[in-house]
A and B are shown apart, each in its own frame.
Chain A
Amino acid sequence: EAQVTQNPRYLITVTGKKLTVTCSQNMNHEYMSWYRQDPGLGLRQIYYSMNVEVTDKGDVPEGYKVSRKEKRNFPLILESPSPNQTSLYFCASSHHSGARLGTDTQYFGPGTRLTVL
């Protein structure tokens, strides 16, 4: 079954304690992306990756890191979480290289609810 998985689904942590949210897709997609969802703001892009070892900032990258060592995985790293990073996080992937016209459907993971105390 084609899917994007995220772990953990729920996480409560404390300020400053490093954490990683994993994202994995089984569709051989080149493009992967992280969004955060906040009430009244919709979803905003944090980071994205066009392919292995190619990552770049989205609209709200401050306080986050990512890596893309393998095509299927795109972890989101919070080195020193703060309460303003309490949010719902989504990973998404699609089969798109950015070099051609047209786009394929983006597949979203189930979301990770993060609370930073």
Chain B
Amino acid sequence: AQTVTQSQPEMSVQEAETVTLSCTYDTSENNYYLFWYKQPPSRQMILVIRQEAYKQQNATENRFSVNFQKAAKSFSLKISDSQLGDTAMYFCAFMKARQSSGDKLTFGTGTRLAVRP
């Protein structure tokens, strides 16, 4: 079974600064996907970024980028130029690339990020 660990329950960052959220995972799979989801106070689950394990290049989406270290099973999220709207709970999630149970996501326990004005 896969597990996803987010060791930082809460983090805080000053507006306009950079923050990195940590995520590690455990799997015996070679092909899989990793995701970061954002959950603002509205509770909506919003996909921030995704990474395919077979791609060596780290994914980026505007101010969001990841540091994917496959051998270390690490998948951290870097948020640059933090904005007040980035205040949210962030979940790291894992999905096997090919599984009989469809698109099951395994989530970490989340990191609550507060952006200070």
Report which A residues bind B (CB closer than 8 A). 31, 33, 35, 40-45, 48, 50, 56, 58, 88, 90, 92, 94, 96-98, 100-106, 108, 110-111, 113
Contact = CB atoms under 8 A, between A and B. Distances in A.
Interface of B: 4, 31, 33, 42-45, 47, 50, 91, 93, 95, 97-105, 107-110
B101 A48 contact: yes
A31 B97 contact: no
B91 A45 contact: no
Given A40-B109, A42-B108, A43-B107, A33 B102 contact: yes
A43 to B, nearest CB: 4
A96 B109 CA distance: 25
Given A88-B43, A101-B98, A103-B95, A45 B104 contact: yes
A41 B102 contact: no
B33 A103 contact: yes
Nearest to B100: A98
